[in-house]
Amino acid sequence: MKTYSDTTYAILGILTTDCRSGYAIKQFIDQSLHHFWKISYGQIYPTLKSLVEEGLAEVQISSTPGKPDKNEYSLTSKGKETLKNWLEQPIKQLPVERNEILLKLFFSRHQPKEKTLLLLESYKKDLESRFQTYAAIEQAITKYHDTSADTMYWLFTLDYGKRITKAAVEWCEAAFDKLLHEGV
Amino acid sequence: MKTYSDTTYAILGILTTDCRSGYAIKQFIDQSLHHFWKISYGQIYPTLKSLVEEGLAEVQISSTPGKPDKNEYSLTSKGKETLKNWLEQPIKQLPVERNEILLKLFFSRHQPKEKTLLLLESYKKDLESRFQTYAAIEQAITKYHDTSADTMYWLFTLDYGKRITKAAVEWCEAAFDKLLHEGV
DNA sequence: GTTACCATGTAACTAGTTACATGATTGA
DNA sequence: TCAATCATGTAACTAGTTACATGGTAAC
């Protein structure tokens, strides 16, 4: 079976919701996948076009009077098949996430400790504010949505974000202390 | 001050060690930065060329009899300055790491729970083997290197990897349980 | 003579962002 | 009339990988 980029599968997945236009897809991503996936218009529109060429989706122009025309996409059975097939495959390999803070830290012997401490502190602040964002979204979901199956999967992704962020904060603190006390 | 890509700074950083050729840089990355940074030859050689053009490094051809010639690069004072300046800047913004497993999970209501459970299990296995790798490297370092300042920074990056991986494993377990018990 | 390692490099390709261009509708 | 929102799209650019091409040396 032919394989596509993960972004293609993401769009395939979104087309199972009632987001059917490029514009709506972008909104969906910005609202719901924002913490682990981003796509720009510059990629969405060309991808939608290629989905049609590949026979994974069909397009239909919908004109609502008083609103701009839009291209509404919907999955073909081949598209649904492709999505399901991708869902059950284990991931190709654990990604090596490029990490800017680790890269800086790795070479930080070339700068005074105080500067490295400031770097860590600033990073920690960013992480903490990210954690708060996740917690707030989680709150909002559990409050306003019922605990349906759909919601559960959504919450999984937020829980992941929270756990990873928390671990990173703890690492920051540990590294900070070590730097302070080591070799003074 | 002009800015460069993180990969450029990575190479700048490596040139402060005694890795001076493209080949040696690749080896260094594969051995020491491997868990949070990867670069291919296809990027190293062009980057080295541009470092020289930008006045950040100088190149010198070294011929050792009985060995192939190599291009040895060394940082100029401008190069050192650029590296130090980058080191002290806080990171631009927390990266949104694209996460394939979360993407799949987000759309997993479209497949039977058993398949999602298998997916999580396979992911967890990968994470656990990664954790072991980190722990082994950590062991090797603390055993054979003294606890000099250089080593400390290296250990920070490994500690980060271990903490994040551990948190991810725990998330896997929690999600697995939730999936099993929720709405049976 | 063949395998492993040392060493450099490019061309084609994939993925993705940013900036730009266009234009309609709605509401203040 | 002006800003916000809805809506689609492309061109230029950046970053990066993969596959290929080349060739020397060392050890078995």
Q: Domain locations in chain A?
A: 6-88, 100-181
Q: How far is A134 from chain B (nearest CA, A)?
A: 13
Kindly report the average pLDDT of chain A as a whole number.
93
pLDDT at B144: 76
Distances (CA, A) of B81 to A52, A96, B77: 51, 29, 6
Q: What are phi and psi of B97, to 5 degrees?
A: -75, 125
Q: Is the pLDDT of residue A184 over 70?
A: no
Q: Which residues are CB-contacts of B46 (< 8 A; sequence separation ≥ 6)? A: none
Q: Which of B35, B91, B150 sits opposite A123 (nearest CB)?
A: B91
Tens digits of residue pLDDT in A65-106: 667 779 999 999 999 999 999 999 999 889 899 999 999 999
* Interface A-B: count of C-beta contacts within 8 A: 207
Nucleotides of C under 7 A from a protein CB: 6-12, 14-20, 23-26
Give, in Å, how far the C1' of D2 lies from the CA of B110.
45
- Cβ distance A17 to A71 under 8 Å? no
pLDDT at A62: 82
pLDDT, mean of residues A24-39: 96
Q: Which residues of B touch A110 (CB under 8 A)?
A: 13, 16, 83-84, 87
Tens of pLDDT along chain B (184 residues)? 789 999 999 999 999 999 999 999 999 999 999 999 999 999 999 999 999 999 999 999 987 766 777 999 999 999 999 999 999 999 988 988 899 999 999 999 999 999 999 999 999 999 999 999 999 999 988 887 666 768 999 999 999 999 999 999 999 999 999 999 976 5
Pair of tokens at residue B37:
């940074």
**127-146 in A: which are within 8 Å (CB) of B?**
127, 130
CATH of domain B6-88: 1.10.10.10
Distances (CA, A) of A172 to A110, A120, B72, B169: 19, 6, 36, 20
